[in-house]
Structure 1
Amino acid sequence: MASHDSLKTLSTLEAGGKTYHYYSLPKAAKSLGNIDKLPVSLKVLLENLLRFEDGDTVGEDDIKAMVAWLDERKSTREIAYRPARVLMQDFTGVPAVVDLAAMRDAVAKAGLQPDKINPLSAVDLVIDHSVMVDKFGSPEAFEKNVAIEMERNKERYEFLRWGQKAFDNFRVVPPGTGICHQVNLEYLAKAVWTKEQDGKNFAFPDTLVGTDSHTTMINGLGVLGWGVGGIEAEAAMLGQPVSMLIPEVVGFRLSGKLREGVTATDLVLTVTQMLRAKGVVGKFVEFYGPGLNGLPLADRATIANMAPEYGATCGFFPVDEETLTYMRLTGRDEDVIELAREYSKAQGTWRDDSVEPVFTDTLELDMGDVEPSLAGPKRPQDRVSLSGLNDAFELLMESSGVDKTADPKVAIKGSDATLTHGDVVIAAITSCTNTSNPSVMMAAGLVAKKALAKGLQRKPWVKTSLAPGSKVVTDYLAKAGLDDYLNQLGFDLVGYGCTTCIGNSGPLPDEISEAVDEGDLIVSSVLSGNRNFEGRIHPQVKANWLASPPLVVAYALAGTTRIDLSKDPIGEDNNGEPVYLKDIWPSEAEIKQQVELVVSDMFRKEYGDTLFAGDEHWQSLNIPESLTYEWKDESTYVANPPFFTGIDKPLAPLEDVQGARVLAVFGDSITTDHISPAGAIKPSAPAGEYLQQQGVEVKDFNSYGSRRGNHEVMMRGTFANIRIKNLMVEGSEGGVTRFMPDGDEMSIYDAAMKYQQQDTPLVVLAGKEYGTGSSRDWAAKGTRLLGVKAVIAQSFERIHRSNLVGMGVLPLQFTGDDSHESLGLNGEEVFSLSGISDSIKPGQTIKATAKRTDGSEVSFDLLCRIDTANEVEYYKSGGILHYVLRQLIAA
Structure 2
Amino acid sequence: MASSEHPNSYDARGTLKVGDREVEIFKLEALQSRFDVARLPFSLKILLENLLRTEGNGAVDAADIEALATWDAKAEPSKEIAFTPARVVMQDFTGVPAVVDLAAMRDAMADLGGDPAKIEPLVPAELVIDHSVQVDEFGTRTAFAFNAEREFERNRERYEFLKWGQDAFETFKVVPPDTGIVHQVNLEYLARTVFVDDKTNTAYPDTLVGTDSHTTMINGLGVLGWGVGGIEAEAAMLGQPMSMLIPQVIGFRLNGELPEGATATDLVLTVTEILRKKGVVGKFVEFFGPGVTALPLADRATIGNMSPEFGSTCAIFPIDAETLRYMAFSGRPKEQVDLVEAYAKAQGLWHDENETPTYTDIVELDLSTVEPSLAGPKRPQDRIALHSAKEGFRSSLAELIGDDSDHGHGHGHDEAVAESFPASDPPADSAPGSEPDEHADAAPAGAPGVAALAERSRSAVEVTMDGQTFKLDHGHVVIAAITSCTNTSNPSVMIAAGLLARNANAKGLNRAPWVKTSLAPGSKVVTEYYDRAGLTEDLEALGFNLVGYGCTTCIGNSGPLPDEISKGVNDGDLAVTSVLSGNRNFEGRINPDVKMNYLASPPLVVAYAIAGTMDINLTEDPLGQDADGNDVYLKDIWPSTAEVARTVEEAVQSDMFRASYDAVFDGDDNWRGLDVPTGDRFAWDGESTYIAKAPYFDGMEPEPSPVTDIENARVLAKLGDSVTTDHISPAGAIKKDAPAGRYLQEKGVEVKDFNSYGSRRGNHEVMIRGTFANIRLRNQLAPGTEGGVTRHLPDGEQTSIYEASEQYIKDGIPLVVLGGAEYGSGSSRDWAAKGTSLLGVRAVIAVSFERIHRSNLVGMGVLPLQFPEGETAESLGLTGEEEFTITGLAEPMNNGELPREVSVKAGDVEFTARVRIDTPKEADYFRHGGILRYVLRQLAADAA
Relative to the length of structure 2, the TM-score reads 0.92
Cα shift at 1:113: 2.0
Equivalent residue for 2:151? 149
**What one-letter code is carried by the residue in structure 1 that aligns with 2:221?**
L
CA RMSD of aligned residues (A): 1.1
Question: d(CA) in 1 for partners of 2:171 and 2:570?
Answer: 50
Question: d(CA) in 1 for partners of 2:898 and 2:494?
Answer: 47
Bigger shift: residues 324-333 or 650-659? 650-659
The question of whether the paired residues in 2 share the 8 Å contact of 1:568 and 1:580 is answered with yes
Give CA-to-partner distance per residue, 1:787-845, whole Å, 9 cap, x none. 00000001000000000000000000112111101011111111000011152344611
The question of whether the paired residues in 1 share the 8 Å contact of 2:41 and 2:359 is answered with yes
Equivalent residue for 1:110? 112
Question: d(CA) in 2 for partners of 1:691 and 1:55?
Answer: 47
Aligned partner of 1:19 among 18, 22, 26: 22
Equivalent residue for 2:931? 880
Which residues of 2 match residues 127-206 of structure 1 at below 5 A? 127-197=129-199, 200-206=200-206
Question: d(CA) in 1 for partners of 2:623 and 2:73?
Answer: 56
The question of whether the paired residues in 2 share the 8 Å contact of 1:175 and 1:614 is answered with yes
Give CA-to-partner distance per residue, 1:115-171, whole Å, 9 cap, x none. 110000000000000000001000000001000001110000000000000001000
Aligned partner of 2:719 among 649, 663, 666: 666
Give CA-to-partner distance per residue, 1:582-630, whole Å, 9 cap, x none. 001000111011110211100000010x111111111111111111000
Question: d(CA) in 1 for partners of 2:635 and 2:46?
Answer: 45
Equivalent residue for 2:604? 551
Give CA-to-partner distance per residue, 1:153-201, whole Å, 9 cap, x none. 000000000000000100000000000000000000011011023xx41
Question: d(CA) in 2 for partners of 1:593 and 1:354?
Answer: 30
**What one-letter code is carried by the residue in structure 1 that aligns with 2:544?**
F
**What one-letter code is carried by the residue in structure 1 that aligns with 2:454?**
T
Equivalent residue for 2:32? 29
Question: d(CA) in 1 for partners of 2:371 and 2:702?
Answer: 61
Q: Secondary structure at the match of 1:738?
A: strand
The question of whether the paired residues in 1 share the 8 Å contact of 2:522 and 2:549 is answered with yes
Which residues of 2 match residues 117-128 of structure 1 at below 5 A? 117-128=119-130
Question: d(CA) in 1 for partners of 2:809 and 2:392?
Answer: 45
Question: d(CA) in 1 for partners of 2:798 and 2:839?
Answer: 17
Bigger shift: residues 474-483 or 639-648? 639-648
Question: d(CA) in 2 for partners of 1:306 and 1:343?
Answer: 28
Give CA-to-partner distance per residue, 1:380-419, whole Å, 9 cap, x none. 1111111111122212222123552245210113431110
Equivalent residue for 1:68? 70
**What one-letter code is carried by the residue in structure 1 that aligns with 2:362?**
T
Question: d(CA) in 2 for partners of 1:96 and 1:340?
Answer: 32
Equivalent residue for 1:263? 263
Bigger shift: residues 830-839 or 118-127? 830-839
**What one-letter code is carried by the residue in structure 1 that aligns with 2:56?**
D
Equivalent residue for 1:331? 331
Cα shift at 1:701: 0.4
Equivalent residue for 1:45? 47
Aligned partner of 2:902 among 842, 846, 857: 846
Aligned partner of 2:654 among 582, 586, 600: 600
The question of whether the paired residues in 2 share the 8 Å contact of 1:73 and 1:358 is answered with no
The question of whether the paired residues in 2 share the 8 Å contact of 1:811 and 1:866 is answered with yes
The question of whether the paired residues in 1 share the 8 Å contact of 2:734 and 2:754 is answered with yes
Cα shift at 1:348: 0.2
Aligned partner of 1:748 among 801, 805, 810: 801
**What one-letter code is carried by the residue in structure 2 that aligns with 1:275?**
L
Q: Secondary structure at the match of 1:20?
A: strand
- Structure 1 runs (4+) greater than 6 angstroms displaced: none
Aligned partner of 1:635 among 680, 683, 688: 688
Question: d(CA) in 2 for partners of 1:599 and 1:639?
Answer: 45
Give CA-to-partner distance per residue, 1:655-681, whole Å, 9 cap, x none. 110000000111110000000000111
**What one-letter code is carried by the residue in structure 1 that aligns with 2:275?**
L
The question of whether the paired residues in 2 share the 8 Å contact of 1:3 and 1:52 is answered with no
**What one-letter code is carried by the residue in structure 2 that aligns with 1:166?**
A
Equivalent residue for 2:475? 422
Give CA-to-partner distance per residue, 1:315-349, whole Å, 9 cap, x none. 01011000000001101000000000000000001
The question of whether the paired residues in 2 share the 8 Å contact of 1:843 and 1:865 is answered with no
The question of whether the paired residues in 2 share the 8 Å contact of 1:210 and 1:233 is answered with yes
Question: d(CA) in 2 for partners of 1:732 and 1:765?
Answer: 17
Cα shift at 1:697: 0.5
The question of whether the paired residues in 1 share the 8 Å contact of 2:74 and 2:248 is answered with no
**What one-letter code is carried by the residue in structure 1 that aligns with 2:906?**
A
Aligned partner of 1:835 among 888, 905, 914: 888
What is the percent sequence identity of the aligned residues? 62
Question: d(CA) in 2 for partners of 1:71 and 1:88?
Answer: 32
Relative to the length of structure 1, the TM-score reads 0.98
Equivalent residue for 1:484? 537
Bigger shift: residues 725-734 or 86-95? 725-734
User: In the comparison of the two structures, how many residue pairs are matched?
Assistant: 881
Are 1:676 and 2:768 counterparts? no
Which residues of 2 match residues 796-875 of structure 1 at below 5 A? 796-837=849-890, 839-840=892-893, 841-842=897-898, 844-851=900-907, 857-875=908-926
Task: Structure 2 unaligned segments of length 5 or more: list them.
Answer: 403-451
Question: d(CA) in 2 for partners of 1:17 and 1:186?
Answer: 26
Give CA-to-partner distance per residue, 1:726-765, whole Å, 9 cap, x none. 1112232111111111111111111111111111100000
Equivalent residue for 1:368? 368
Flag the 1:55–1:718 CA change in 2: closer, same or farther, 3 A.
closer
Give CA-to-partner distance per residue, 1:184-222, whole Å, 9 cap, x none. 00000011011023xx41100000000000000000000
Question: d(CA) in 2 for partners of 1:166 and 1:229?
Answer: 23
Task: Structure 1 unaligned segments of length 5 or more: list them.
Answer: 852-856
**What one-letter code is carried by the residue in structure 2 that aligns with 1:405?**
A
Question: d(CA) in 2 for partners of 1:579 and 1:612?
Answer: 46
Question: d(CA) in 1 for partners of 2:691 and 2:914?
Answer: 37
Cα shift at 1:567: 0.6
Question: d(CA) in 1 for partners of 2:234 and 2:57?
Answer: 24
**What one-letter code is carried by the residue in structure 2 that aligns with 1:813?**
Q
Bigger shift: residues 14-23 or 794-803? 14-23
Which residues of 2 match residues 207-286 of structure 1 at below 5 A? 207-286=207-286
**What one-letter code is carried by the residue in structure 2 that aligns with 1:336?**
Q
Give CA-to-partner distance per residue, 1:533-570, whole Å, 9 cap, x none. 11000011010000000000000000000111011111
Aligned partner of 1:565 among 611, 618, 636: 618
The question of whether the paired residues in 1 share the 8 Å contact of 2:254 and 2:367 is answered with yes
The question of whether the paired residues in 1 share the 8 Å contact of 2:819 and 2:846 is answered with yes
